[in-house]
Chains A and B, each alone.
Chain A
């Protein structure tokens, strides 16, 4: 009985090992490894029709660079205008367009609790070099109770980075001809 159990467990282990070695590493790691083949270049934030303060525009951009790097989804996270981008084989370009902005007030939040929230809503799009959109998402970032107004930009960047992390990006080989 003991010998049977040993043999069956050895066979099972061998079967697992064989299956594991035959599967391509990309499938084993799930979507994150697919994304890791891509690099991303973050473009300057487009204010659109919204009258956005320059500090907010810069803060969204800088926080996006930080948060996208933290997700470890991309080989490289490059800023707008970086010369190294021309040599990167699989590059996605992130364009961020502001759709809504409600300027808030920290003082009003402290006194009234219900008013004075800072609200931001942006559309984030990841495009290939040929202009094919592989990710399109609208995210928001708000500050309702505690923290300075610029905290909305951090919340927004974190939400957009999380959305990118959860998104299924296409395999680089399927778009290899375009990149």
Chain B
């Protein structure tokens, strides 16, 4: 009986010893995944204004490469800003008409007020990310990007994780203040 108990204890200890490395390796693998994904991940965005070499309303991809936030258009032209020169990041929301000029023309030309009905449904909410950064001469500049809903938060978190100052939205600040007051 005593032998059985000792054997059972040994098996448990052995099992625990085996499980520990497995848990740690899973954690390490998780971290590796995150590190590999973040620099190579790109977000589809529209450049509203700010980068001189990129035309306004150009579509492209935003990515973080070598401590630089880079925007590359479909045509191949690109522009970037070093993360250390970014002064502030603001997240906003914009409600925009989809379909561009053809949709606007259709909406205006539709008879019997049909355009208004089209106008009701031809809208989509987007996230806007506004950056304030300094150029090589210390001059202040700004850039605005439009991203699909939810992607703004992804970019904001990514930039915040790399030490860029991100401005808190009013609601977030109030929430933090209230939480502080409760404490």
For window 93-119 of chain B, which residues contact chain A by CB distance below 8 Å?
94-97, 104, 107, 115-116, 119
Query: Among the listed B97, B138, B143, which residue makes an inter-chain contact with A110, where contact means beta carbons less than 8 Å apart?
Result: B97
Q: How far is the CB of A11 from chain B (nearest CB, A)?
A: 54
B164 close to chain A: CB less than 8 A = no
Docked pose: A112 CA to B88 CA in angstroms: 36
The segment out of B12-20, B66-74, B128-136 that lies at the interface is B128-136
Mark contacts of B121-144 with chain A using CB atoms, 8 A cut-off: 1 yes-contact digit, 0 otherwise.
011000010101011011111111
B-chain residues with CB within 8 Å of residue A80 when the two chains form the complex: 139-140
> A44 and B130 in contact (CB under 8 A), knowing A54-B90, A62-B49?
no
Q: How far is the CB of B93 from chain A (nearest CB, A)?
A: 9
Query: Among the listed B50, B94, B138, which residue makes an inter-chain contact with A58, where contact means beta carbons less than 8 Å apart?
Result: B50
Q: How far is the CB of A36 from chain B (nearest CB, A)?
A: 21
Question: A81 to B48, Cβ gap below 8 A?
Answer: no
Question: A148 to B140, Cβ gap below 8 A?
Answer: no
A150 close to chain B: CB less than 8 A = yes
Query: Among the listed B96, B107, B122, B128, which residue makes an inter-chain contact with A55, where contact means beta carbons less than 8 Å apart?
Result: B128
> A79 and B141 in contact (CB under 8 A), knowing A53-B92, A54-B130, A58-B50?
yes
A111 close to chain B: CB less than 8 A = yes
Question: A110 to B119, Cβ gap below 8 A?
Answer: yes
Interface residues of B, count at CB 8 A:
32
Question: A106 to B95, Cβ gap below 8 A?
Answer: yes
- Contact residue range for chain A? 20 to 34
B167 close to chain A: CB less than 8 A = yes
Q: Would you call the interface of chain B mostly helix, strand, loop, or mixed?
A: strand
Mark contacts of A49-83 with chain B using CB atoms, 8 A cut-off: 1 yes-contact digit, 0 otherwise.
00001110111011100000000000000111111
Question: B132 to A58, Cβ gap below 8 A?
Answer: yes
A-chain residues with CB within 8 Å of residue B96 when the two chains form the complex: 106, 148
Docked pose: A148 CA to B94 CA in angstroms: 9
Instruction: Give chain A's interface residues, CB within 8 Å of chain B.
Output: 44, 53-55, 57-59, 61-63, 78-84, 105-107, 110-113, 146, 148-150
Which 5 residue pairs of A and B lie closest in terms of their CB atoms, listed nearest first? A110-B119, A58-B142, A79-B139, A82-B139, A54-B90
| 24 A-B residue pairs with CB within 8 Å | A54-B88, A54-B92, A55-B90, A57-B142, A59-B48, A59-B142, A62-B49, A62-B142, A63-B49, A78-B139, A81-B134, A84-B137, A105-B95, A106-B97, A107-B97, A107-B119, A107-B120, A110-B97, A110-B107, A110-B115, A110-B122, A111-B119, A150-B48, A150-B49
